[in-house]
Amino acid sequence: MPQPSRMQSSGGCAGRNVWRETRPYCLARDKLEVEELTAKQGVIRQVLVITDGCSNVGEDPVACAERARRAGVIVNVIGVVDQGEIGRQGQMEAMSIADAGGGMCRIVRPSELSATAQMVTHQTMQMTLQQVVHQQLLQVVGKPAEDLTPAERARVMQVVDRLEEEVGLEMVVAIDVSASMKDKMPTVREAIRDLALSLQVRQGPFEVAVIAFPGDFPGNEESPAAVRVVQPFQPQLDADALARVLVARGGTPTGPAILRALELFSTKQAEPGFADLPERRWTGETGT
């Protein structure tokens, strides 16, 4: 039985966000008065690619994932294997996409897909938030997390846990619907439904969009496309639209799918207050 591949990360998770102060969190050291570390609200943006093979159509998916990371979007990849193997080339591509996208990669059997989708989503959220809090520690307390006492580190993790519940999440799920995915589609649909339900119970706002690639499916001969939008961003998953996703013919345009996800995000990033981030990482602003 194949083992899930190791986590892929490029030193942290990306996000282009605006933070607004909610309530303070305090850290005390020795006899100094308590310092304030502000818990703030923001938005994490993720793309989850579910595939079972190599991209062979369109732009380089690794370059597209790097472009996503620079735009503040995390790219996670789950490779799904059945009786055979995803192949060394497919596995290396999946890992490279996740690494370039600042996310995680897992290679799993269909039965593991639901739990894995939830795990990579929550872990990359937590990694992003840990980075935010650690950066705020440097700015507010003047020391990195490694220099905190065990009690202080425990309290910092409480902040991270709380933020994971409260932070906004916008996610695009990109589904490979090439012919080889036909037998896996029922499991893929179930995994996406489970993921959406697990994220909707959080306190923070959540919106999900779903895209499928390739877009050349039976009945769509007059307007074939590399990628099609199954549902735009909305607070709940459209189960009926997901159920109508058909296995397509043609190649596997993973790169174009990532670019299409970025286009969906761009329509939501016209709000005022979004700024570039140091090293293209999500940095919480301090101050009131």
Residue 250 in tokens? 């043609």
Of residues 35 and 181, the one with the higher pLDDT is 181
pLDDT at 255 over 80: yes
Helix (H), strand (E) at residue 127: helix 113-140
221 contact partners, CB below 8 Å, separation of at least 6: none
pLDDT tier at 84, thresholds 50, 70, 90: low
Q: Determine how many CB atoms are found less than 10 A away from the CB of residue 8.
A: 22
Query: Could you tell me what percentage of the chain is helix, strand and coil, using 3-state DSSP and rounding each to the nearest 5?
Result: 40, 20, 40
Average pLDDT, the chain: 77
249 contact partners, CB below 8 Å, separation of at least 6: 178, 179, 214, 216, 217, 218
Angle between helices 254-266 and 88-100 (to 10 degrees): 20
Residue 166 in tokens? 């409260």
Any bridge partners for residue 74, and if so which?
A: 46
Residue 103's SS3 state is strand
Lowest-confidence region among 91-105, 135-149, 204-218, 254-268: 135-149
The candidate with the shortest Cα–Cα distance to 16, out of 49, 48, 42, is 42
Tokens 């994932």 correspond to 65
The bridge status of strand 228-234 relative to strand 206-213 is: antiparallel
33 contact partners, CB below 8 Å, separation of at least 6: none
Helix (H), strand (E) at residue 39: strand 35-41
What confidence score (pLDDT) does residue 161 get? 84
pLDDT above 70 covers what percent of the chain? 75
What confidence score (pLDDT) does residue 88 get? 78
Which amino acid type is present at position 280?
R
* 89 and 56 Cβ atoms separated by less than 8 Å: no
What is the per-residue pLDDT across 98-146, written as a single tens digit (0 to 9) for each?
Answer: 999 999 999 999 999 999 999 999 999 988 888 877 777 777 777 777 7
pLDDT tier at 275, thresholds 50, 70, 90: very low
Tokens 């269909």 correspond to 110
Q: What is the mean pLDDT of residues 211-229?
A: 71
pLDDT at 20 over 50: no
**What span, in angstroms and rounded, lies between the C-alpha atoms of 172 and 26?**
35
C-alpha torsion angle, residues 247, 263, 75, 224 (rounded to 10) = 20
What is the per-residue pLDDT across 48-83, written as a single tens digit (0 to 9) for each?
Answer: 999 988 888 899 999 999 999 999 999 999 999 876
What confidence score (pLDDT) does residue 23 get? 36
**What span, in angstroms and rounded, lies between the C-alpha atoms of 164 and 13?**
14
Tell me the domains of the chain and their CATH numbers.
Answer: 40-267 (3.40.50.410)
Any bridge partners for residue 39, and if so which?
A: 23
DSSP category for residue 221: T
What is the per-residue pLDDT across 157-213, written as a single tens digit (0 to 9) for each?
Answer: 888 888 888 889 999 999 999 888 888 999 999 999 999 999 998 888 999 999 999
Of residues 3 and 246, the one with the higher pLDDT is 246
